[in-house]
């Protein structure tokens, strides 16, 4: 059997960012609206700092307005909430994203609840999660939206396919399962208590791994010809000792790529698969929010 087709998320995301940039230009020209995204980072988690910088740069590159708020790790909750309230009320801001994880003294649930659902471009509020589950228009978590774009591009019609999603987080697993269900897949959600996970995975025409355990999914867990979407990211020190000494890392996915590639029909690499789609979809969600907030169809 031939090797899997590699799904090039980097190239797909670059095209999506171009589409978004064109939409932004049209919104400005036709309606005088510049979509604006505010990103809030509390503390100095190194990976979060990279994500936040990339988000700011790509927002500006798409012609959008970008604000980044960097708060000290010991910022009290009322101070963070006052900022979120201000952003909720700011007409120049259409999307608000608080970068998680946050320091332990802050509650992720309380932060999410503070964000206006109309500006919740991460799709984490109860309102947006409920709207997604009810089949209503929603702002939906960026990474699952990106995974769906890659799957539809690779496979076309997803109807009737058995999709197995490993992971059930509010950010990833649950919205992913909802989107697959909405695309008429038969969906199984697996998690840390699932019995005989390899046997469940072997039934999957579409396998989405969103766990965060490096190379957990082995080649013999995969049905021949399946589409494998690897969301997981685990950071290890760079293999180059000099780079490792500088704190440089390498990313490893949840899927043992070389083994899986020999069995699957399609597969996303790590890096260069799902990862680049996340920010591109964040930009798109911000444009969607800007349209809705301004009553533009």
Residues that bind ligand NAP (CB under 6 A): 143, 166-169, 171-173, 190-194, 197, 210-213, 231-233, 274-275, 278
Q: What gap in Å lies between CA 206 and CA 31, rounded to an integer?
A: 41
Token digits for 207? 């396998």
Of 72 and 236, the one with the shorter C-beta distance to ligand NAP is: 236
Minimal CA–CA distance to 124: which of 111, 136, 135?
111
Contacts (Cβ under 8 Å, ≥6 apart) of 71 = 40, 41, 42, 43, 79, 80, 83
Question: For residue 124, which of 148, 100, 102, 146 has the smallest C-alpha distance?
Answer: 100
Active site residue: 120, 122, 205, 230, which one?
Answer: 122
Q: Name which of 199 and 245 has its Cβ closer to ligand NAP.
A: 199
122 is catalytic: yes
CA distance 297 to 144: 24
Among this protein's residues, is 55 annotated catalytic? yes
Tokens of 192: 């840390």
Omega prior to 257 cis, within 30 of 0? no
Q: How far is the CB of 245 from ligand NAP (least distance, A)?
A: 24
Burial of 247 (0-12, 13-18, 19+ CB in 10 A): exposed
Q: Which strand (E) or helix (H) includes residue 101?
A: none
Catalytic residue among 58, 99, 178, 284: 99
**Minimum distance from CB of 283 to ligand NAP (Å)?**
14
Cβ neighbours of 87 (radius 10 Å): 23
- State which residue, 16 or 33, has the beta carbon closest to ligand NAP: 16
Q: Which is nearer to ligand NAP, 129 or 190 (CB)?
A: 190
CB of 8 to ligand NAP, least distance (A): 15
Structure tokens at 293: 């907030």
Is the distance from CB of 35 to CB of 64 less than 8 angstroms?
A: yes
Give the CA radius of gyration of the chain.
19
Q: Where are the beta strands (DSSP E) in 43-171?
A: 65-71, 95-98, 162-166
Give least dist CB 189 to ligand NAP, A.
Answer: 9
Taking the complex as a whole, the smallest distance from the CB of residue 208 to ligand NAP amounts, in Å, to 10
Which residue, 27 or 276, is less far from ligand NAP as judged by CB?
Answer: 276
Examine the residue annotation and report whether 118 is marked as an active-site residue of this protein: no
Based on CB atoms, which residue is closest to ligand NAP, 90 or 259? 259
184 token code pair: 């008429």
**From the CB of 256, what's the least distance to ligand NAP, in Å?**
14
* Residue with tokens 């309606």, as numbered in its chain: 31
Report the number of secondary-structure helices (H) and strands (E) in the chain: 11, 11
Residues taking part in catalysis: 55, 99, 122
């Amino acid at each position: 059997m031939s090797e899997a087709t590699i799904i090039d998320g980097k190239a797909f995301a670059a095209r999506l960012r171009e589409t978004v940039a064109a939409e932004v230009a049209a919104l400005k020209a036709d309606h005088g609206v510049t979509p604006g995204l505010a990103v809030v980072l509390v503390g100095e988690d190194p990976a979060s700092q990279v994500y936040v910088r990339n988000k700011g740069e790509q927002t500006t590159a798409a012609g959008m307005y970008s604000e980044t708020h960097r708060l000290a790790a010991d910022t009290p909750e009322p101070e963070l909430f006052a900022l979120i309230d201000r952003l909720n009320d700011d007409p120049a801001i259409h999307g608000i994203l608080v970068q998680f994880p946050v320091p332990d003294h802050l509650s992720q649930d309380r932060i999410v609840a503070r964000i206006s659902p109309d500006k919740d471009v991460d799709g984490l509020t109860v309102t947006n999660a409920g709207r997604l589950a009810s089949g209503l228009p929603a702002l939906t978590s960026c990474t699952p939206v990106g995974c769906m774009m890659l799957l539809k591009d690779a496979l076309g019609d997803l109807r009737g396919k058995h999709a197995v999603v490993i992971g059930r987080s509010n950010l990833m697993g649950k919205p992913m399962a909802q989107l697959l269900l909405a695309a008429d897949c038969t969906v199984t959600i697996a998690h840390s208590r699932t019995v005989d996970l390899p046997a469940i995975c072997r039934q999957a025409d579409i396998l989405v791994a969103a766990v965060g355990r490096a190379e957990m999914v082995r080649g013999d867990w995969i049905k021949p010809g399946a589409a494998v979407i690897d969301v997981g990211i685990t950071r290890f020190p760079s293999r180059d000792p000099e780079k490792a000494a500088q704190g440089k890392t390498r990313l490893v996915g949840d899927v043992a790529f070389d083994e899986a590639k020999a069995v699957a029909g399609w597969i996303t690499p790590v890096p260069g698969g799902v990862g680049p789609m996340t920010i591109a979809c964040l930009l798109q969600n911000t444009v969607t929010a800007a349209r809705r907030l301004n009553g533009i169809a």
